[in-house]
Structure 1
Amino acid sequence: MSTSPSWQPKSAWTVTALLTGLAMINFLDKIVLGMVAVPLMADMHLSPAQFGFVAGSFFWLFSTSTVLVGFLSNRVPTRWILLAMGASWSVLQLPQAFTTSTLALLLCRVILGAAEGPSFPTSVHSLFKWFPDQRRSVPVAVINQGAVVGMVLAGLAIPAITQRWGWRTNFLVLAAIGTLWCVLWLAFGREGNLDTVRRTPSGSAALTSDAGDAARLPYRKILTDASVLSIFLLGFVAYWLLGQTITWLPTYLEKGLGFGGIASGRLFALVIALAAPVNIGLSALSQRMLQHGATTREARARLTSVVMIAGGLLFLALAAIDLTPMQKVFCYAVAAALPTFCLTLAPAMLAEMVPLAQRGSVIAINTAVASLGAAIGPAIVGRLVQSYSATGAHAYEIAIAVTAVLLILAAVVALRWLHPERSMRTLGEAATPLTA
């Protein structure tokens, strides 16, 4: 008879801190191109449409690699997968620092995107080996704030580095930061082995171990479930917004609203910084609701949907109402902070619904589908900005309004069809044991 290891808070939060650092690096790598957009476009003679195409290329293989590594993470320790990813990111910064060709830059971004795609689902899968179900919302939110820290640092540091040493130096700095993280992960990163307490379809608690007997479902059954599809849609529009923000917000601040390069970087940092308290606060609220008896539909699905609708409405207000530049910045900051909350709760909802043996791959598939939004969004925004360039800031605000409509539609769909408990029952009834 096997026993479940006890929860180890110190080790769990050490791994959380390291994974937060990895998320920070991941988003520094993503945002750097948007932060150097103005000098890069001038240096390489790129139009807004061409730049949007290159920026979106980061996500071309993002989905494919995410799914492949997601299946791999069901069988290979996440410690070594994460180390391999961190090392490859550092190496891939170097050719970006020295390239003079648009095609070469595009190829670098495509390969880097493939290397970085699996980061979030693999990190979450690793984290879930350290935290039981009802303790997962806050640590996942903390990891997501690594992205916020990365984008804040980008807003503060990249313009200063660019002004002093040129835009190419930023890629060398990122290579050094990634190398430092790999050293720390080798020293302190560990694989968790905490058994997971999951509710059965009847509502009782059942202990399921990664090493013990587990159940599996046909992926066709999982991927056609209404709740799973709703989560995929929420993630798609959240990543669309994310792609828009990291690629075009710095340019919107500088060229659309008239702020200088350094001021735009600082305002970008402020916009992104607001996401941290919003996401952690909402995650704590969701976790507290669960601990006080709320259903997952109430504490996760409905809360996520309502928050996303609020963000969409604020974006519509930004595009439709005559506001001062600073008011528009504040409105964008609040509106952008709210929808990304779904990226925190989506893995927890999926982990509740699907068999433990398939958790890593399903979370990866969710990220892969969601990231398509970031692949498509920047290119469409670039087309809109180029088509309406004569209208100044209004060109960017047309794209913001399109994003707002997508956010609201996705949230309405989730309010109607996202029922985690119901899906847990139906999927649980269809699951078959791996072993007799």
Structure 2
Amino acid sequence: MKPTQTSVVDGPKESRVQAWSLTMILVLLYVINAADKAVLGLVAQPLAHELGLTSSQIGLVGSGFFLTFTVSGFFAGLLNKWVTLRWILVLLSLAWAATMVPMVLVASFTVLLVSRLALGLAEGPSSALVHTAVYSWHAPKKRGLPGAWIASGVSIAKIAIAPALAVVVATWGWRAALVTLAVAGVAWCALWLATWKEGPYGERGQADTASTAEGEEPQPAVPWTKIFFTPTFLGAAVAVISVYALVSVVLTFLPSYFEVGLGYSRLEAGTMFGFPSIASMAALLVSTFISDRLLSRGASSRLLRGVLPGTGLLICGLAMTTLPYIGAPGLTVGVVSVGYGFGTVIMPLFNAAISQLCPPRQLAGTLGVFLALMSLGGLVAPYLTGVIVDAASSPAEGYASAFKVFGIAAVVTSLIALLTVNPERDASRVLG
């Protein structure tokens, strides 16, 4: 009889209130993270007017962010090994705040580009590290809903923070929005340092459990290639690249699409920026809540973490391909919102599927590589969108055509995911 070991498998003795409180603090960090990304979309038109920027230049800045974001994402595992989660997340949050300052002091295209490159470098490892911290408090079969709350940080930022920042921009100018985000990043650090501790499902928690169980050793590491070349990892990576391309375009250009493409005012466009996120958040929370409940009762993770998100991405892609053929602005906003909501379901469910493939000690590194690959979609998509818009006969036609391109990519990659993602099968092969 091994009571300590059983407690880890069936559920930790620690307070679930503490688990969810720490989860929500990390969600708050992700909200700040997402707002730092999204602010470029909110200030794109004021910046373009003040600095004389084209859509291609705005797109280049967006793609530049995702270049450094992708590169630094591969180092999440090393950072988790060298520095504790407590301190690395503090350092990253302070770095995000610091990147807001240069544009406030000296506004130019060069400063904008360099500051966004620096922000991407600092934000790249954060998603994997935040997921690692959250997953340390939740059992593998119950990680869908916590992952959905993390992913919902982007939605919360656009639902609640973006409209507030739009008011700030309209009232005090775009510089005030950057200052607000810098202050928020610093304030979060104080809350984090006062509350954080690692949960029982983290690397240290699992090691402590194994050391107290008779005859048990911590689960050994497995070769990285054994994880990365599973059909589940490869198929999920291809799919998240396409959906993140769409996410990066939404972050960079959606307010501009609503303003100069569909004819809404700047304040209306900033407010409606949250509409796709409302649909996304509802889809994320409902799908992951149901998924976690069914998995806990013995349902197939192939169905709930493979087929379900793959189908959501397929619906998203089909919705985006219809945009060039819709004439009504209100209907266009509705189709973008619903399609985006279905597509984003894949992120928490695929992240949870990937977490099944590796031992706890390799979770940060595995997620770091997976999420860095995901951000490859952001390298090309914003710049390509800017080029398409500049070449089109009208902004409305250009934005609709760009969304159609990413919709087709989503359809193709969803079919790949539906055929390949099977975490049960591949976890058995990798972990034995």
Out of 36, 40, 43, the residue aligned to residue 43 of structure 2 is 36
Aligned to 1:118: 125
Distance 1:253 1:180, change over 3 A: same
> Is residue 132 of structure 1 aligned with residue 136 of structure 2?
no
Question: In structure 1, what is the equivalent of residue 185 of structure 2?
Answer: 178
Matches of 2:266 and 2:246, distance apart in 1: 22
Other-structure match for 2:350: 346
For 2:394, the equivalent position in structure 1 comes to 391
Is structure 2 residue 154 aligned with structure 1 residue 156?
no
Partner residue of 2:236? 231
1:425–1:134 Cα change, 3 Å = closer
Matched, 1:331 2:335: yes
CA distance in 1, matches of 2:301, 2:313: 17
Residue 411 of structure 1 corresponds to 414
Aligned-pair CA distance for 1:75: 5.5
Name the counterpart of 2:378: 374
Q: Return the alpha-carbon distance in structure 2 between the equivalents of residues 104 and 392 of structure 1.
A: 27
Distance 1:166 1:209 in 2: 57
C-alpha separation in 1, matches of 2:123 and 2:395: 34
Kept in 1, the 8 Å contact 2:323–2:401? The answer is no
Q: Which moved more, 1:46-55 or 1:213-222?
A: 213-222
Hey, what's the Cα distance between the residues in 1 that align with 2:384 and 2:102?
27
Which of the numbers 195, 218, 222 marks the counterpart of 1:217?
222
Shift of 1:34: 0.8
| TM superposition score normalised by structure 2 | 0.92
Percent identical among aligned pairs is: 29
Map of 2:206 onto structure 1: none
- 1:133-282 aligned at under 5 Å gives the runs 133-194=140-201, 212-282=217-287
* Structure-2 separation of matches of 1:209 and 1:164: 59
Contact 1:32 1:154 in 2 (8 A): no
Any stretches of 5+ residues in structure 1 without a counterpart? 197-206, 430-436
Q: Which residue of 1 aligns with 2:363?
A: 359
RMSD of aligned Cα (Å)? 1.9
| CA drift at 1:397 | 0.7
**Aligned mates of 1:132, 1:403 — CA distance in 2:** 35
Query: How many angstroms does 1:56 deviate by?
Result: 1.5
Matches of 2:82 and 2:193 in 1, distance apart?
20
One-letter identity of the residue aligned with 2:414? A
Q: How far, CA to CA, are the matches of 1:195 and 1:56 in structure 2?
A: 34
Cα deviation for residue 270 of structure 1 reads 2.2
Residue identity opposite 1:61 in structure 2: T
Give 1:74 deviation, angstroms. 4.2
1:328-348 Cα deviation digits (max 9, x unpaired): 101110001111111111221
Tell me the TM-score normalised to structure 1 length: 0.91
Is contact 2:76-2:128 (8 Å) kept? no
C-alpha distance 153-226 of structure 1, shift in aligned 2 (>3 A): same
Which residue identity is paired with 2:291? S
How far residue 6 of structure 1 moved from its aligned partner, in angstroms, is: 2.3
**Residues 1:208 and 1:99: Cα distance change in structure 2 (over 3 Å):** farther
Residue 302 (1) aligns with residue 307 (2): yes
Q: Residue 51 and residue 97 in structure 1: after superposition, are their counterparts in 2 closer, same or farther (change >3 A)?
A: same
Letter in 2 for 1:254: E
Contact in 2 for aligned 1:88/1:115 (Cα 8 Å)? yes
* CA–CA distance in structure 2, aligned partners of residues 241 and 12 of structure 1: 32
Conserved in 1, the CA contact under 8 Å of 2:36 and 2:181?
Answer: yes
Q: Return the alpha-carbon distance in structure 2 between the equivalents of residues 391 and 42 of structure 1.
A: 18
Structure 1 residue 252 displacement after superposition: 0.5
2:404 is aligned to 401
SS of 2:27 mapped into structure 1 = helix
CA distance in 2, matches of 1:103, 1:208: 53
Gaps of at least 5 residues in structure 2 are 204-208
Task: Give the Cα–Cα distance (whole angstroms) in 2 for the partners of residues 269 and 32 of structure 1.
Answer: 13
2:296 alignment partner in structure 1:
291
Aligned to 1:311: 316
- Quick one: distance in 1 between partners of 2:142 and 2:298? 14
The separation in 2 between residues aligned to 1:8 and 1:173, in whole angstroms, is 34
The aligned length equals 417
More moved, 145-154 vs 51-60? 145-154
> Could you report, residue by residue, the CA deviation over 1:328-377 in whole angstroms, capped at 9, with x for unpaired residues?
10111000111111111122111111232211101010110101111211
**Distance change >3 Å, CA 384–CA 208, structure 1 → 2:** farther
